[in-house]
Structures are given as C-alpha cells and as structure tokens.
Amino acid sequence: MRYSGLLGKTLREEPHGIRSPSYALLLKGGYIRQLGQGLFAFLPLGLRVLRNLQRIITEEMQALGGQEIYAPVVTPAEIWRRSGRRDWIRELIRFQDRGGRELVLSPTHEEAFVEVVRATLSSYRDLPQLLYQFQIKFRDEERTKDGLSRTKEIYMHDGYSFHRSYHELNNFFPKLFKAFRRIFERCGIQTFAAEAGVGYIGGEKSFEFLMPAAGGDHALIRCGKCQYAASKEVAIGGKEYLRGEMLPLEKVATPGCGTIEALAQFLDLPRSRLAKSLLYLTPRGPVLAVVRADFEVAPEKISAFLKVPVYGLAGDRELAEAGLTAGSLSPIGLPPGLRLVVDDAVARSANLVYGANQAGFHYRNGNFGRDFESPDVADISLTRGQRICLQCGGTLEEIQAVEVGHIFKLGDYYTRAMNLAFQDDHGRAAYPQMGCWGIGLGRLMDAVAWANRDERGLAWPEALAPFRAYLMSIGQSLAVKKAAEELAAELGEEVLFDDREDSPGVKFKDADLLGIPLRLVVSTKHLAEGLVEVQERRTGRVSLLPAAQAVRAVQDLAGAKPALGSRT
C-alpha cells in the first residue's frame, strides 16, 4: 500500500481538548475518525488493526470449540418483554417499524441467542453449545468518553454458552477464563481478572479483565500483599464498627437538614455517626438500603444479595407511595411490607443518627436490633482503598483501570424466564445454564494503543500492527527510488510504502507516530554497500541488512498476519 493513496493521513496538529493519550494518537495517526457523539469510523489503518483483533479472538474461540453465528442487531421487543428487560435498561433504544411492530436496537444479545438456540434444542445431546459472533451493539450511554473507550455504537465480540448443568457451566468457566487471558496476552496488554458486578446483563457472578491505566474509567480494588482484586462495585474490605453502650432513642428537630452534610454540621458529628437510607427500585418492589454515611451504597452488592436487578434510585412519587418522607428516610418506624437491607457496619455500630420519616426531624441513638430489625444484613457498601484486606490483613489500594473484557455466569435466568427447556438424561425438563462474555473491539484497540506507546507515538505489537513494515527512501537519487520501489513490490501487502515527496524528518516522525513494527529506509549512503536500514519501532534497534535479508526480516515477524481477505 502506498501512503499517498491511503485514506487518513497523520495530522500535523495536536487534536483539541483530548485527555486520553491513546485516543489522541489514534486520531493523529489517522486510525479513526469521529462522526458523532460516541460514533466512530475506523479508517483503513484502524480497520486493519480491528481485523487482526478479530482474527486473534476467532482463533481462541475456535480453539475453545466455539461456533460463529450472526444474530441481528435489531430484535423484536417481544423477546425483551419475555426476559423482563424491555422496560428497565436505560441504554436500550426502542422504535416502531412501519407496521407498528416494536423493535429494539440491541445493547446486548442474551435474548436473541436464547431464541436462536430454541428452534434447535430438544435433548441434552444438543448441549453444550458455545456460540459467538462479531456484531454491533448500540448503547445509549449517558456519557460517552475519551474516544473508543466508551462509545454508543460498539463493534463487539460476544459469546453465549448453553450447558446441561451448573456443574458443566462451572467446568467451562476456567477454560473461558484462560482463553480471555490468552487473547489479551496476544494483544500485548497486561490484565487483572477481578470479580465484578453483573449490571443489566444479570446472572450470578462475573469477572472483568482490567488493564491498570491512569485515567481509566473503572476502579479496581487490589491488595498490596495477596492476590485479591475486585472491581470497586463488588470489592470487599474490613470495616471499623462503632461499638458502645446503647443510649436511649431520642427524636430531635433538625430544621433545614436535607443533606447528610448539613445534618453532620448541625449535629456536630462525623459522618460515621450518621446512617444514610436510600430507596432503590427492583422488579420485586422497592427496597430501603441503609449504610453508614461515611460509606456509599453499592447497588451491585444489593443486587447480588437479593438476587434481583436493582434498577436505580426511587423518585419522589415512589417515595410517597412507599410512605416515606424525602430527606428523613428511616428504617425506624418502617411502613409495613417495605423490604429493608442493612449494611453490616450499620447493624454493628451503636447509637447512630437515623431519619424519622418526618420532615425536619431525626432520631439520635438509633440501634439495630432494638429500634428496628431486618433479616437482611449484608455488606452493601462500597469498599475504598486504605481498608484492610479480608483475606490477608494487607492494605487495599484503589487503582484506575480500563475494562477490556467481561465474562458472566448467567445460570438459568434467561432460559427460565424465556422458557427454553430441554429433556435431561432422565427425561425431565430442565433449563440450560448459560454463560456469556464480551469484548468491545474498539475499546480493546484503545487499550492496546494505551499500553503500547511512547512519547513519539504508537508501537503496535506485531500481531496487531496494520502493516508489518513501513518503507521510505531518502534523497532524489533514481537508484535509491528504484531500489525502494523494488522492495515495495516484493513486500506487497505487508508494507506501507511512504512514497510522498516530504522531507526525511517528516517521514521519520510519521513512522514513529504510526507505530508499525519495522521501519525500512533506503538511502544513497547504504545502498552503495547494498544495504537497507531496518529499525525496530519498539526497541529502536537498527540493523543494516542486504535487501533480501530485510525482506526476510519482515516476513519472519512473529505474529503479524495480513488482515481478512488480503491473502489470495
């Protein structure tokens, strides 16, 4: 490929207002282009990286025994109604077609895969099934961010497995885990696997693959001493309980104290002496969650504990319906029938301040077990750094990370809700146990760029680079130009030949920015000795090689393969 004909040249100017260094480099190098908020085009260089990612993932999925299929991105709303997710995924776009049929622009594909499997599943002999695809998702994210790291349209690899039993799903999971590790290793990034929340995908357990990165939009809690790591939303850590003699409950006027901040100031108490109550909505009705005010609620933990999705916070209407008073919510004097979940730090701390379900009033010296009660006590608060690791007593730290992959144990939630059954080996009806997983290819490309760069630009791993080699010549000598043309012809599709009339300085700079593994330079000086300069982008190591050997060096590059379809 000649650089002069390539769509998407390097930009001379620094793109404006961009914080993410990987995004800036992908823009500057001409890999991607923004078309709208969270909507990106992949230019030829970016597309070739994408196809290389696709090849690596395909190879690992095939090795796992996966079968590739295609499920449409537009799906009937009816199947989302059956799973119960039609109404509460905020990122889900619905629309009507001309015939008045309601359709969904799918943010994920659990429902579609259940429907695809339905027609072909009858007996246990048809299981397990490991299915995957490369397909678009559309997620109407509230905030998109930093280029490819959170987009609305996502070109995604996603997979869905169907098993005869939970035991079989459990046996499959470590294999999937290993395949994910291999994928990220082959992409040249280091990841942590960490337990994570399940969000609207649901199910019982999930693991995220996170790449530590300053500025990453995920928080990872990690122990400095042992192997413990978890996504912040589900991480656990030691808590300090506030013990003490129980004092008498006392109602106090707290005029104008609508916030925790105001209340702490008014009562002259630290936040740790106050309880905070929040009402969350779930498909089984509202749930009042109580944590100590020096913590934040972790909805993912409530969801895991109650085994229902948590949709979000209640609004004024739902508060009124539940018989609660905004600004003074309380587990003390709880309206009958309302479900209550209490954080363990609240249950084990004495004499906290609670709301009174009465505007302008609170209770002092409230005590769990005496003033209110619930069977549902659990860890439902967010863990922060500087807490104690429950596994080894070490200190937890919070680091920023980028999520590059996510695997889920879904169990039988979807198959049961959507009534996809099979006959087990005893002739009884059973629901397949599902696993699922996903890798956003744009986000992964961004992470690879983040991890493989230096102050001069990108430095792609060989397996992902859009070309194996970048070729240029120096000077106006016809012999040099001819030698460069010959090299280009010999290397064919594997080389990006910079045939512009620009100065060597401009070309060196662009070669560094583009980050192609080998840079070949033909110059008068070395051509006289029959040599070509070959420089490795990642190490900077320079060799002078005869042309034939330079060609071999390019062809021998370990992982690099041309993209889909370029081989005939």
In degrees and rounded to multiples of 5, residue 256 shows phi and psi of: 70, 10
3-class DSSP state for residue 496? strand
Angle CA(29)–CA(34)–CA(36) in degrees, nearest 5? Answer: 175
Closer Cβ to its own copies, 5 or 17, answer by number: 5
To its own copies, the closest distance from the beta carbon of 63 in angstroms equals 8
To its own copies, the closest distance from the beta carbon of 75 in angstroms equals 6
Rg (alpha carbons) of the chain, rounded to whole number = 29
To its own copies, the closest distance from the beta carbon of 464 in angstroms equals 14
Closer Cβ to its own copies, 496 or 551, answer by number: 496
To its own copies, the closest distance from the beta carbon of 149 in angstroms equals 16
**246: DSSP letter:** P
Q: Is 13 buried (19+), middle (13-18) or exposed (0-12) by CB count in 10 A?
A: exposed
Closer Cβ to its own copies, 59 or 204, answer by number: 59
Check if the beta carbon of residue 106 is closer than 8 Å to that of residue 75: yes
Q: Is 41 buried (19+), middle (13-18) or exposed (0-12) by CB count in 10 A?
A: exposed
Q: Which residues pair with 209 in a beta bridge?
A: 193, 405
To its own copies, the closest distance from the beta carbon of 123 in angstroms equals 11
Check if the beta carbon of residue 224 is closer than 8 Å to that of residue 398: no
To its own copies, the closest distance from the beta carbon of 9 in angstroms equals 6
Closer Cβ to its own copies, 44 or 394, answer by number: 44
Dihedral, CA of residue 224, residue 226, residue 230 and residue 233, to nearest 10: -60
Check if the beta carbon of residue 355 is closer than 8 Å to that of residue 325: yes
To its own copies, the closest distance from the beta carbon of 187 in angstroms equals 15
Closer Cβ to its own copies, 326 or 421, answer by number: 421
To its own copies, the closest distance from the beta carbon of 45 in angstroms equals 9
DSSP letter for each residue of 125-138? GG--EEEEEEEEEE
Closer Cβ to its own copies, 153 or 536, answer by number: 153
Closer Cβ to its own copies, 34 or 374, answer by number: 34
**Strands 377-378, 339-343: parallel, antiparallel or unpaired by DSSP?**
parallel
Closer Cβ to its own copies, 7 or 246, answer by number: 7
Closer Cβ to its own copies, 112 or 219, answer by number: 112
To its own copies, the closest distance from the beta carbon of 460 in angstroms equals 18
To its own copies, the closest distance from the beta carbon of 442 in angstroms equals 9
Check if the beta carbon of residue 193 is closer than 8 Å to that of residue 407: no
DSSP letter for each residue of 508-550? HHHHHHHT-SEEEEE-HHHHTTTEEEEEETTT--EEEEEHHHH
To its own copies, the closest distance from the beta carbon of 265 in angstroms equals 35
To its own copies, the closest distance from the beta carbon of 32 in angstroms equals 9
Closer Cβ to its own copies, 6 or 350, answer by number: 6
Closer Cβ to its own copies, 140 or 296, answer by number: 140
Q: Which residues pair with 91 in a beta bridge?
A: none
In degrees and rounded to multiples of 5, residue 399 shows phi and psi of: -125, 155
To its own copies, the closest distance from the beta carbon of 144 in angstroms equals 10
Closer Cβ to its own copies, 72 or 393, answer by number: 72
3-class DSSP state for residue 295? coil
To its own copies, the closest distance from the beta carbon of 106 in angstroms equals 11
Dihedral, CA of residue 26, residue 28, residue 30 and residue 31, to nearest 10: 0
DSSP letter for each residue of 217-236? SEEEEEESSSS-EEETTT--
Closer Cβ to its own copies, 73 or 545, answer by number: 73
Q: Which of 538, 456, 462 is nearest to 505 (CA)?
A: 456
Write the CA distances from 329 to 259, 273, 342, 359, integer angstroms.
Answer: 11, 16, 13, 9
**164: DSSP letter:** S
Count the residues in the chain.
568
Where b means 16+ CB within 10 Å and e means fewer, 210-234 reads: bbbbeebebbbbbbeeeebbbbbbb
Closer Cβ to its own copies, 153 or 397, answer by number: 153
